Protein backbone atom coordinates (compact mmCIF):
# COMPACT_ATOMS: atom_id res chain seq x y z
CA UNK A 1 0.00 0.00 0.00
CA UNK A 2 1.30 3.48 -0.89
CA UNK A 3 1.06 6.05 1.88
CA UNK A 4 0.01 9.53 0.86
CA UNK A 5 3.29 11.40 0.31
CA UNK A 6 2.29 14.43 -1.76
CA UNK A 7 -0.66 16.63 -2.66
CA UNK A 8 -0.69 17.92 -6.25
CA UNK A 9 -2.87 21.02 -6.61
CA UNK A 10 -4.45 22.50 -9.69
CA UNK A 11 -4.42 26.32 -9.58
CA UNK A 12 -7.27 27.98 -11.49
CA UNK A 13 -10.57 27.21 -9.81
CA UNK A 14 -8.94 25.04 -7.12
CA UNK A 15 -6.48 27.22 -5.20
CA UNK A 16 -8.45 30.34 -6.11
CA UNK A 17 -11.45 31.46 -8.15
CA UNK A 18 -9.29 33.07 -10.79
CA UNK A 19 -11.32 32.71 -13.95
CA UNK A 20 -14.35 35.06 -14.01
CA UNK A 21 -12.86 38.08 -12.24
CA UNK A 22 -9.21 37.39 -13.01
CA UNK A 23 -8.21 35.74 -16.28
CA UNK A 24 -11.40 36.87 -18.09
CA UNK A 25 -10.88 40.50 -17.11
CA UNK A 26 -7.19 40.35 -18.06
CA UNK A 27 -8.07 38.94 -21.52
CA UNK A 28 -10.59 41.75 -22.08
CA UNK A 29 -8.01 44.37 -21.02
CA UNK A 30 -5.49 42.93 -23.47
CA UNK A 31 -8.08 42.96 -26.28
CA UNK A 32 -9.01 46.60 -25.59
CA UNK A 33 -5.36 47.63 -25.36
CA UNK A 34 -4.72 46.06 -28.78
CA UNK A 35 -7.62 48.07 -30.24
CA UNK A 36 -9.79 44.97 -30.76
CA UNK A 37 -13.52 45.13 -30.13
CA UNK A 38 -13.55 41.59 -28.70
CA UNK A 39 -15.23 41.18 -25.31
CA UNK A 40 -15.68 37.96 -23.35
CA UNK A 41 -18.81 38.06 -21.18
CA UNK A 42 -19.07 35.81 -18.11
CA UNK A 43 -21.27 33.34 -20.05
CA UNK A 44 -19.13 33.31 -23.15
CA UNK A 45 -16.00 32.82 -21.05
CA UNK A 46 -17.65 29.85 -19.34
CA UNK A 47 -18.14 28.22 -22.73
CA UNK A 48 -14.58 29.02 -23.81
CA UNK A 49 -13.26 27.33 -20.66
CA UNK A 50 -13.83 23.96 -22.32
CA UNK A 51 -10.30 24.31 -23.64
CA UNK A 52 -7.47 24.87 -21.19
CA UNK A 53 -4.69 27.37 -21.82
CA UNK A 54 -5.05 31.04 -22.68
CA UNK A 55 -3.52 30.90 -26.17
CA UNK A 56 -5.63 27.84 -26.93
CA UNK A 57 -8.71 29.75 -25.70
CA UNK A 58 -7.99 32.71 -28.03
CA UNK A 59 -7.64 30.23 -30.91
CA UNK A 60 -10.99 28.64 -30.01
CA UNK A 61 -12.65 32.07 -29.94
CA UNK A 62 -11.20 32.93 -33.35
CA UNK A 63 -12.38 29.61 -34.79
CA UNK A 64 -15.91 30.44 -33.61
CA UNK A 65 -16.18 34.17 -34.43
CA UNK A 66 -13.36 35.07 -36.82
CA UNK A 67 -12.34 31.82 -38.59
CA UNK A 68 -10.78 33.71 -41.52
CA UNK A 69 -8.27 35.34 -39.13
CA UNK A 70 -6.82 31.94 -38.27
CA UNK A 71 -5.51 31.77 -41.83
CA UNK A 72 -3.53 35.04 -41.51
CA UNK A 73 0.24 34.41 -41.77
CA UNK A 74 1.15 36.30 -38.57
CA UNK A 75 -1.71 34.96 -36.47
CA UNK A 76 0.43 32.83 -34.12
CA UNK A 77 2.66 35.83 -33.33
CA UNK A 78 -0.41 38.00 -32.71
CA UNK A 79 -1.92 35.41 -30.37
CA UNK A 80 1.39 35.16 -28.49
CA UNK A 81 1.60 38.95 -28.16
CA UNK A 82 -2.02 39.24 -27.00
CA UNK A 83 -1.46 36.47 -24.49
CA UNK A 84 1.72 38.12 -23.15
CA UNK A 85 -0.28 41.34 -22.62
CA UNK A 86 -3.02 39.36 -20.88
CA UNK A 87 -0.41 37.81 -18.54
CA UNK A 88 0.92 41.30 -17.72
CA UNK A 89 -2.59 42.50 -16.80
CA UNK A 90 -3.31 39.35 -14.78
CA UNK A 91 -0.06 39.54 -12.80
CA UNK A 92 -0.78 43.21 -12.06
CA UNK A 93 -4.21 42.25 -10.71
CA UNK A 94 -2.61 39.60 -8.50
CA UNK A 95 -0.10 42.04 -7.07
CA UNK A 96 -2.98 44.39 -6.17
CA UNK A 97 -4.25 41.52 -3.98
CA UNK A 98 -7.58 41.16 -5.77
CA UNK A 99 -7.68 37.34 -5.93
CA UNK A 100 -7.83 35.49 -2.59
CA UNK A 101 -7.29 31.76 -2.04
CA UNK A 102 -10.48 29.69 -1.75
CA UNK A 103 -11.65 28.83 1.78
CA UNK A 104 -9.66 26.02 3.35
CA UNK A 105 -6.73 26.16 0.92
CA UNK A 106 -4.22 27.88 3.21
CA UNK A 107 -5.29 25.65 6.13
CA UNK A 108 -4.83 22.46 4.08
CA UNK A 109 -1.44 23.58 2.76
CA UNK A 110 -0.30 24.34 6.31
CA UNK A 111 -1.63 21.01 7.64
CA UNK A 112 0.15 19.12 4.87
CA UNK A 113 3.42 20.92 5.55
CA UNK A 114 3.19 20.22 9.28
CA UNK A 115 2.54 16.53 8.54
CA UNK A 116 5.63 16.34 6.31
CA UNK A 117 3.73 15.84 3.06
CA UNK A 118 5.21 17.28 -0.10
CA UNK A 119 3.31 19.84 -2.15
CA UNK A 120 3.23 20.28 -5.91
CA UNK A 121 1.34 22.24 -8.55
CA UNK A 122 0.11 20.91 -11.90
CA UNK A 123 -1.59 23.59 -13.94
CA UNK A 124 -2.27 24.79 -17.43
CA UNK A 125 -1.67 28.42 -16.59
CA UNK A 126 1.50 30.45 -17.16
CA UNK A 127 4.22 30.00 -14.46
CA UNK A 128 4.33 33.69 -13.40
CA UNK A 129 0.57 33.55 -12.74
CA UNK A 130 1.18 30.78 -10.22
CA UNK A 131 4.04 32.44 -8.38
CA UNK A 132 2.14 35.76 -8.42
CA UNK A 133 -0.92 34.15 -6.81
CA UNK A 134 1.16 32.33 -4.19
CA UNK A 135 3.23 35.43 -3.32
CA UNK A 136 0.17 37.66 -3.09
CA UNK A 137 -1.58 35.28 -0.69
CA UNK A 138 1.17 33.42 1.20
CA UNK A 139 3.98 35.96 1.09
CA UNK A 140 7.31 35.78 -0.71
CA UNK A 141 8.02 32.34 0.76
CA UNK A 142 4.77 30.94 -0.74
CA UNK A 143 6.19 29.50 -3.98
CA UNK A 144 8.88 27.72 -1.91
CA UNK A 145 6.19 25.70 -0.10
CA UNK A 146 5.93 23.65 -3.31
CA UNK A 147 8.63 21.17 -4.34
CA UNK A 148 7.41 21.28 -7.92
CA UNK A 149 5.53 23.95 -9.88
CA UNK A 150 4.57 22.32 -13.18
CA UNK A 151 2.88 24.97 -15.30
CA UNK A 152 1.89 26.11 -18.78
CA UNK A 153 3.90 25.29 -21.87
CA UNK A 154 6.44 23.06 -20.08
CA UNK A 155 4.52 20.19 -21.72
CA UNK A 156 3.10 20.45 -25.24
CA UNK A 157 -0.32 18.88 -24.52
CA UNK A 158 -2.43 20.62 -21.87
CA UNK A 159 -5.20 19.11 -19.72
CA UNK A 160 -7.16 16.86 -20.29
CA UNK A 161 -3.94 15.19 -21.49
CA UNK A 162 -2.04 13.59 -18.58
CA UNK A 163 1.26 15.26 -19.50
CA UNK A 164 1.39 17.97 -16.83
CA UNK A 165 0.64 15.49 -14.02
CA UNK A 166 3.12 12.99 -15.51
CA UNK A 167 5.70 15.78 -15.51
CA UNK A 168 4.97 16.72 -11.87
CA UNK A 169 5.23 13.04 -10.81
CA UNK A 170 8.60 12.70 -12.55
CA UNK A 171 9.87 15.82 -10.78
CA UNK A 172 8.57 14.54 -7.42
CA UNK A 173 10.02 11.09 -8.20
CA UNK A 174 6.88 9.49 -6.76
CA UNK A 175 4.42 6.94 -8.17
CA UNK A 176 0.85 8.19 -8.77
CA UNK A 177 -0.53 5.96 -5.98
CA UNK A 178 1.55 7.91 -3.42
CA UNK A 179 -0.08 11.20 -4.42
CA UNK A 180 -3.47 12.85 -4.47
CA UNK A 181 -4.58 15.42 -7.05
CA UNK A 182 -6.92 18.28 -6.11
CA UNK A 183 -8.92 19.60 -9.05
CA UNK A 184 -11.98 21.70 -9.93
CA UNK A 185 -12.83 20.70 -13.49
CA UNK A 186 -13.69 17.79 -15.75
CA UNK A 187 -10.59 18.47 -17.85
CA UNK A 188 -8.52 18.37 -14.67
CA UNK A 189 -10.05 15.08 -13.48
CA UNK A 190 -9.51 13.48 -16.88
CA UNK A 191 -5.90 14.64 -16.87
CA UNK A 192 -5.18 13.38 -13.33
CA UNK A 193 -6.94 10.04 -13.90
CA UNK A 194 -5.07 9.50 -17.17
CA UNK A 195 -1.85 9.95 -15.17
CA UNK A 196 -3.09 7.27 -12.72
CA UNK A 197 -3.72 9.70 -9.87
CA UNK A 198 -6.54 9.53 -7.35
CA UNK A 199 -8.35 12.88 -7.40
CA UNK A 200 -10.64 14.92 -5.15
CA UNK A 201 -12.76 17.66 -6.72
CA UNK A 202 -13.78 21.03 -5.30
CA UNK A 203 -16.29 22.60 -7.70
CA UNK A 204 -16.97 26.26 -8.48
CA UNK A 205 -19.60 28.24 -10.36
CA UNK A 206 -18.07 27.43 -13.77
CA UNK A 207 -17.44 23.71 -13.21
CA UNK A 208 -20.44 22.67 -11.09
CA UNK A 209 -22.44 20.10 -13.09
CA UNK A 210 -19.46 18.82 -15.13
CA UNK A 211 -18.75 15.09 -15.36
CA UNK A 212 -16.35 14.09 -12.59
CA UNK A 213 -16.42 10.35 -13.25
CA UNK A 214 -13.41 8.71 -11.62
CA UNK A 215 -13.05 11.22 -8.76
CA UNK A 216 -12.83 9.89 -5.18
CA UNK A 217 -14.98 12.68 -3.82
CA UNK A 218 -16.71 15.78 -5.22
CA UNK A 219 -17.43 18.68 -2.85
CA UNK A 220 -18.48 22.29 -3.38
CA UNK A 221 -15.31 23.49 -1.62
CA UNK A 222 -12.89 22.46 1.11
CA UNK A 223 -14.82 24.39 3.75
CA UNK A 224 -13.50 25.71 7.03
CA UNK A 225 -14.40 25.24 10.70
CA UNK A 226 -17.90 26.76 10.86
CA UNK A 227 -18.19 26.85 7.04
CA UNK A 228 -19.23 23.33 5.99
CA UNK A 229 -18.27 21.76 2.67
CA UNK A 230 -21.18 20.11 0.88
CA UNK A 231 -20.51 16.65 -0.57
CA UNK A 232 -21.86 16.23 -4.10
CA UNK A 233 -20.58 12.66 -4.56
CA UNK A 234 -18.54 10.31 -2.39
CA UNK A 235 -17.62 10.55 1.29
CA UNK A 236 -18.55 13.31 3.73
CA UNK A 237 -15.69 14.97 5.66
CA UNK A 238 -15.59 13.91 9.33
CA UNK A 239 -15.82 17.41 10.80
CA UNK A 240 -17.94 18.99 8.06
CA UNK A 241 -14.95 20.54 6.27
CA UNK A 242 -12.09 18.84 4.43
CA UNK A 243 -9.06 18.22 6.64
CA UNK A 244 -5.83 16.44 5.83
CA UNK A 245 -7.09 13.40 7.80
CA UNK A 246 -10.07 13.15 5.40
CA UNK A 247 -7.80 13.31 2.35
CA UNK A 248 -5.53 10.65 3.88
CA UNK A 249 -8.49 8.35 4.65
CA UNK A 250 -10.04 8.78 1.18
CA UNK A 251 -6.65 8.20 -0.46
CA UNK A 252 -6.05 5.07 1.64
CA UNK A 253 -9.45 3.64 0.70
CA UNK A 254 -8.77 4.35 -2.99
CA UNK A 255 -5.32 2.78 -3.18
CA UNK A 256 -6.36 -0.23 -1.04
CA UNK A 257 -9.24 -1.00 -3.39
CA UNK A 258 -8.39 -4.13 -5.46
Sequence-distant (6+) residues with CB within 8 A of 189 are: 183, 199, 201, 212, 213, 214, 215
Residue nearest to ligand XBP (CB): 54
Is residue 28 close enough to count as binding ligand XBP by CB under 6 A? no
Integer distance in angstroms from the first to the last C-alpha of the chain? 11
Annotated catalytic residue within 2, 12, 220, 239:
12
SS3 221: coil
Identify whether the C-beta of residue 247 lies closer than 8 Å to the C-beta of residue 9. Answer: no
What region does 72 belong to: left with phi over 0, alpha with psi -120 to 50, or beta? beta
Residues 1-30 that bind Mg ion (CB under 5 A): 10, 12-13
Q: What are phi and psi of 255, to 5 degrees?
A: -80, -20
Residue nearest to Mg ion (CB): 13
Q: For residue 81, how many other CB atoms are within 10 A of its CB?
A: 13
Instruction: Tell the burial category of 258 from Cβ atoms under 10 Å away from its Cβ (0-12, 13-18, 19+).
Output: exposed
Binding test (CB under 6 A) with ligand XBP, winner from 8, 13, 93, 150: 13
Judge whether 12 counts as a catalytic residue: yes
Residue placing its CB nearer to ligand XBP in the complex, 159 or 251: 159
Judge whether 10 counts as a catalytic residue: yes
Binding test (CB under 6 A) with ligand XBP, winner from 61, 136, 186, 187: 187
Residue placing its CB nearer to ligand XBP in the complex, 28 or 185: 185
The piece of 36-44, 46-54, 70-78, 173-181 that touches ligand XBP (CB under 6 A) is 46-54
Where do contacts with Mg ion occur on this chain (CB under 5 A)?
A: 10, 12-13, 184-185
Where do contacts with ligand XBP occur on this chain (CB under 6 A)?
A: 10-13, 19, 23, 52-54, 87, 123-126, 129, 159, 185, 187-188
Active site residues: 10, 12
Amino acid sequence: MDRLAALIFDVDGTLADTERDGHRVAFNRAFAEAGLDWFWSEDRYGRLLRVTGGKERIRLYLSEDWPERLAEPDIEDRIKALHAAKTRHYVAMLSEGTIPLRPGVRRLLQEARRAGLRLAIATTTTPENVTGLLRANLGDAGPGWFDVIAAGDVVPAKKPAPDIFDYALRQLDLPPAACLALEDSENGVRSARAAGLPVVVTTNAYTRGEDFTGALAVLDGFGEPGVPARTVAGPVPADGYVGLSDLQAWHRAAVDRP
